[in-house]
């Protein structure tokens, strides 16, 4: 493993729960792969642009040159060059924050990262491990400890679906839930995420 792409999506800087835990994931990867370089793309600090009319027109042409996609192409190349990806994202209104959606719209591109075929969309990128650190104020994977029903989750299934679309299937979700419910719940969330990290990571980084 030579290159790890780290995408951070929280606007909260060092106070961000997902960013803070992502450093543990990156440390773990670095331990297994000391020579690996981390490329940090801070989507919150430098959000990708929303797709525009030129983009919408260019994707209609299967022969469109790479320079027809001045924002999309470098982001795709950066992803292609990564042997592993760490995405640190908050849940915002049951889904991805806008900056992550903007990145997805730039990299999930017909005729480039996926092909549309009669049997469905076929991913064009090689598979690689992706670790998604998700922080949410409440709970969505199960009821809260107090029994409140889980919230809708349009974040984790959506991320799996778009990554699968471009050929990436080795996706590991690391969940930190209940981050807004006080320091005790936050500590429990971090302990739970550490247990999740112990589970999938060694196999994935072999
Ligand atoms: C605009 C916005 C929307 C949010 N929507 C949700 C939500 O739908 N469900 C939830 O559990 N928490 C929600 N939260 C709380 C965040 O998910 C929580 O604070 C989380 O820790 C953010 O991650 P971060 O600390 O890494 O930024 C929202 C926070 C903001 C600012």
Residue nearest to atom 4 of ligand 1 (CA): 92
In the reported structure, the alpha carbon of residue 43 is separated from the centroid of ligand 1 by a whole-number distance in angstroms of 16
The pLDDT of residue 206 is 47
Ligand 1 pocket, 18 CB below 6 A?
yes
Q: How many helices (DSSP H) and strands (DSSP E) are in the chain?
A: 7, 7
In the reported structure, the alpha carbon of residue 165 is separated from the centroid of ligand 1 by a whole-number distance in angstroms of 26
Tens of pLDDT, residues 156-191 = 999 999 999 999 999 999 999 999 999 999 999 999
* Alpha carbon distance 146, 134 (integer Å): 21
Ligand 1 pocket, 141 CB below 6 A?
no
Q: Provide the domain limits for residue 135.
A: 3-204
Tens of pLDDT, residues 17-51 = 999 999 999 999 999 999 999 999 999 999 999 99
Q: What percent of the chain has pLDDT over 70?
A: 97
The pLDDT of residue 1 is 87
Looking from the CA of residue 180, the nearest atom of ligand 1 is: 19
In the reported structure, the alpha carbon of residue 81 is separated from the centroid of ligand 1 by a whole-number distance in angstroms of 30
In the reported structure, the alpha carbon of residue 17 is separated from the centroid of ligand 1 by a whole-number distance in angstroms of 10
Ligand 1 pocket, 136 CB below 6 A?
yes
Ligand 1 pocket, 50 CB below 6 A?
no
> Which of 90, 145, 175, 193 is the pocket-test mutation for ligand 1 (most atoms within 8 Å of CB)?
90
Question: DSSP 3-state assignment of 87?
Answer: strand
In this prediction, residue 137 has a pLDDT band, given cuts at 50, 70 and 90, of: very high
- What's the rounded mean pLDDT across residues 59-66? 96
CATH number at residue 172: 3.40.50.360
Q: How many domains does the chain have?
A: 1
Ligand 1 pocket, 9 CB below 6 A?
no
pTM of the model: 0.96
* Alpha carbon distance 49, 172 (integer Å): 27
Q: Which helix (H) or strand (E) holds 74?
A: helix 72-80
* Alpha carbon distance 114, 184 (integer Å): 43
């Amino acid at each position: 493993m030579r290159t790890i792409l780290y995408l951070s999506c929280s606007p909260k800087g060092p106070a961000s729960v997902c960013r803070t835990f992502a450093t543990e994931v990156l440390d773990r990867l670095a331990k297994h792969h000391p020579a690996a370089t981390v490329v940090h793309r801070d989507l919150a600090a430098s959000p990708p642009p929303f797709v525009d009319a030129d983009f919408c027109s260019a994707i209609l042409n299967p022969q469109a040159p790479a320079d027809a996609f001045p924002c999309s192409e470098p982001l795709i190349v950066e992803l292609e060059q990564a042997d592993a990806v760490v995405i640190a994202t908050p849940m915002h209104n049951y889904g991805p924050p806008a900056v992550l959606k903007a990145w997805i719209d730039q990299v999930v591109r017909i005729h480039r990262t996926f092909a549309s075929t009669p049997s469905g969309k076929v991913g064009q990128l090689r598979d690689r491990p992706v670790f998604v650190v998700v922080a949410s104020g409440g709970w969505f994977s199960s009821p809260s400890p107090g029994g409140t029903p889980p919230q809708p989750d349009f974040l984790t299934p959506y991320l799996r679906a778009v990554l699968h679309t471009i050929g990436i299937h080795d996706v590991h979700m690391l969940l930190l839930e209940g981050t807004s419910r006080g320091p005790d719940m936050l500590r429990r969330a971090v302990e739970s995420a550490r247990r999740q990290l112990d589970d999938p990571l060694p196999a994935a980084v072999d």
